[in-house]
A and B are shown apart, each in its own frame.
Chain A
Amino acid sequence: MSSQLSRMLGTLGAEVLETLWDAPRPLTVREVQERLNRARVEPLAYTTIMTVLARLADRDILVREMNGRAYVYQPVVADAAELAVRDVIRDHGEMAVAHFVDMYSAELGIRSRLSRLIRDEDASG
């Protein structure tokens, strides 16, 4: 685990985020708990994991979506470096920076429109 990430999020926060990075899909609280407890002698409680995930979501590090009856969590940054630059810009200097696209995941409708633009130009040669 990178010490930079631990400094930013605390040890458990960093562990949780790394678990989510390693996962191929968004995870529920229960799934994160199972993965974290695999290598632990003293297992972490469900509520502890839920609190950490909620805090990370409150800090806009994770996105939380309802999947069936449970929330699933997904990181919005790819690694500690991206998290660091995002935090710096958000906390201090968003005005003095021009983003190509600022931490935004376009909705499906807009993505379809972009895909259509690509296809149309392909078709027209």
Chain B
Amino acid sequence: MCWSGRWRYPLTRVAQLTTVLVVLGYLVTEMSRAVASFQLEGAGGGSALPRLGVEVLAAVGIVLTVSGIVRCAFTLARQCMGMVTLSRWVAVHRVEPDPQLLRAGDGVLPTDRIVQVDSRGAFALTYGLLRPRVLLSSGFVAVATEAELAVVLRHEWHHAERLDPLNRLVLGLFSALVWYVPGSRRMLRHHLLCQELAADRAALSRSRRQVLAGALLKVASAPRFNAAVAGMHTAEIFEARVRQLEGRVSHQEGRQTVYRHVPCALLIAAGLAGDVAVATLIEQFCRQPGGW
């Protein structure tokens, strides 16, 4: 489907630009009309410019709101289906955790939250919304040292303790709802970056930089995607994590500072206010005698 493929980003950008252009066009036309009316008032004439009715703006608003709600519902259904499928996959491939992994996790996280799966690949992740678990592959457990496993577990447990998967899902749903607001994807990306950098700082609180660098190197040295294919988020976040290890990340960059929250909150508020306004408009229209 084109929406989930290579066309997704350009189509979203085109829709965002169209939204901005329609709103700006509306404002410019109305302002021009007001200026023209003011100038022609003395001659007793009205504006020669055609009136771009509020109906156009309302129609665009309705289309955007409905598409946002549909997108949000679709995203939620997709994510829920993914969680169920992933849980089933884990149940099939789950093996007893390696003694080395259990030793590394001792004192870091409860043993029942560690899941090891039988795969030669080297990967580690946190999954689950309300009771997240930390999943590591046998391939990674085999190549990593006990200290590296401990640092990875600490990183992932930081995600689990703060319910980061749930946070990501909620923010992703917001992003899907107000997809037409420019900057909504950037907001999501910044949030992911902050989460990853915070998890690395938590991991480094009781480990040396060298150990985390070693774990990152082992996972990111496998033949996988380069920056162009992996997507901007992954490459950007990885680069920022390395910069943080080198001590080159500014204080504001990796933290959820208040000034960074303000534009995000404004974006979400603008999107939600737009949705509410459109809903009110539809309700008023329906109540009119000649309405639906």
Q: Which A residues contact B (CB, under 8 angstroms)?
A: 26, 60, 63, 74-79, 81-82, 84-85, 88-89, 91-107, 110-111, 113-115, 117-118, 121-122
Q: Chain A residue with minimal CB distance to B77?
A: A92
A-B contact count (CB 8 A): 181
B interface residues, how many (CB within 8 angstroms): 64
Interface centre among A26, A63, A74 (most CB of B within 10 A): A63
Cβ of A74: which chain B residues have Cβ within 8 Å of it? Answer: 223
Cβ of B165: which chain A residues have Cβ within 8 Å of it? Answer: 95-98
**A82-B121, A92-B82, A114-B214 are known contacts; what are 18 more A-B pairs with Cβ within 8 Å?**
A76-B225, A78-B122, A81-B119, A85-B123, A88-B89, A92-B83, A96-B79, A97-B127, A98-B195, A100-B125, A100-B219, A104-B234, A105-B225, A110-B238, A111-B217, A111-B220, A113-B246, A117-B210
Q: Looking at the complex, which one of A75, A84, A98, A106 makes contact with B125 (CB distance below 8 Å)? A: A98
Contact A104 B224 (CB under 8 A): yes
Q: Which 4 A-B pairs have the closest CB atoms?
A: A93-B82, A92-B82, A82-B121, A121-B210
Contact A96 B168 (CB under 8 A): yes
Contact B222 A105 (CB under 8 A): yes
A15 to B225, CA, bound (A): 22
A103 to B238, CA, bound (A): 11
Contact B89 A78 (CB under 8 A): no
Q: With A81-B117, A103-B234, A104-B230 as given contacts, are A97 and B125 in contact (CB-CB < 8 Å)?
A: yes
Contact A92 B121 (CB under 8 A): no
Stretch at the interface among B24-32, B58-66, B151-159: B151-159
* Closest-CB distance, A113 to chain B (whole angstroms): 6
Q: Looking at the complex, which one of B79, B125, B168, B226 makes contact with A107 (CB distance below 8 Å)? A: B226
A91 to B81, CA, bound (A): 10
A93 to B255, CA, bound (A): 25
* Closest-CB distance, A120 to chain B (whole angstroms): 8
Cβ of A115: which chain B residues have Cβ within 8 Å of it? Answer: 217
Q: Looking at the complex, which one of B89, B214, B215, B225 makes contact with A103 (CB distance below 8 Å)? A: B225
Q: Is the interface of A mostly helix, strand, loop or mixed?
A: mixed
* Closest-CB distance, B282 to chain A (whole angstroms): 30
Cβ of B199: which chain A residues have Cβ within 8 Å of it? Answer: 98
Cβ of A82: which chain B residues have Cβ within 8 Å of it? Answer: 119-121, 123, 137, 139
A52 to B226, CA, bound (A): 21
A6 to B165, CA, bound (A): 31
Q: Looking at the complex, which one of B122, B139, B225, B238 makes contact with A63 (CB distance below 8 Å)? A: B225
* Closest-CB distance, A125 to chain B (whole angstroms): 11
Q: Chain A residue with minimal CB distance to B88?
A: A88
Cβ of A84: which chain B residues have Cβ within 8 Å of it? Answer: 89, 93
Cβ of B246: which chain A residues have Cβ within 8 Å of it? Answer: 113, 117
Q: Looking at the complex, which one of A81, A96, A99, A106 makes contact with B82 (CB distance below 8 Å)? A: A96
A76 to B139, CA, bound (A): 14
Q: Chain A residue with minimal CB distance to B224?
A: A105
* Closest-CB distance, A59 to chain B (whole angstroms): 11
Check if B209 is an interface residue, CB within 8 A of chain A.
yes
Contact B213 A118 (CB under 8 A): yes
Cβ of A78: which chain B residues have Cβ within 8 Å of it? Answer: 119-122, 139, 222
- B residues 212-249 touching A (CB-CB < 8 Å): 213-217, 219-227, 229-230, 233-235, 238-239, 242, 245-246
